[in-house]
Amino acid sequence: MRDNLSDMLTRIRNGQKANLLEIPLFWPTPKFCIKVLLFLQKEGYIRGIKKSVIEGKEVYHVLLKYTEFHNPIIKKIKRISTPGKRIFVKSKGLWKVKNGKGIFIISSYLGLITDFEARFKNIGGEILFYLE
């Protein structure tokens, strides 16, 4: 079994450590991973994604984001819920990441939301990963 989301998060983490401007996603990228990338772009953690065709195959490139001093915007990224162990929480059971310095990305019936939105709208869901 292949966990495409974990693979994508690991590529982002390694790309940030190597100070790369963009990283390619070579496999046939699932729509859910594209939705996660668009959500990260909306929240301001990546610059965006671009699509290109190499040898007849679609390749997505994640454009990483850095501060003006070339420090990565994403300091830490960690997968919480895995295919073998799904973790669901209610809005009351959500805890703060690093005393509010990080965010959880939650998959709910409204789509992808942050932990702040989940507490505000009083909804729960599956905790996918967190960012600092």
Is 50 within 8 Å of 21 (Cβ atoms)?
A: no
Give the three-state DSSP class for 110. Answer: coil
pLDDT value, residue 30: 87
Mean pLDDT over residues 93-115, rounded?
A: 87
Express each pLDDT in 52-99 by its tens digit.
888 888 889 999 999 999 999 999 999 999 999 999 999 888 887 877
CATH number of 76-132: 3.30.1490.10
Task: Give the CATH fold of the 1-74 domain.
Answer: Ribosomal Protein S8; Chain: A, domain 1 (3.30.1370)
Give the three-state DSSP class for 22. Answer: strand
pTM: 0.89
Give the three-state DSSP class for 112. Answer: strand
Start-end ranges of CATH 3.30.1370.30 in the chain?
1-74
Start-end ranges of CATH 3.30.1490.10 in the chain?
76-132
DSSP collapsed to 3 states, 62-94: EEECECCCCCECCCCEEECCECCECCEECHHHC
Express each pLDDT in 1-11 by its tens digit.
578 999 999 99
Is 44 within 8 Å of 53 (Cβ atoms)?
A: no
Express each pLDDT in 18-46 by its tens digit.
999 999 987 777 899 999 999 999 999 99
Short-list 124, 83, 84, CA closest to 104: 124
Strand partners, 52: 59
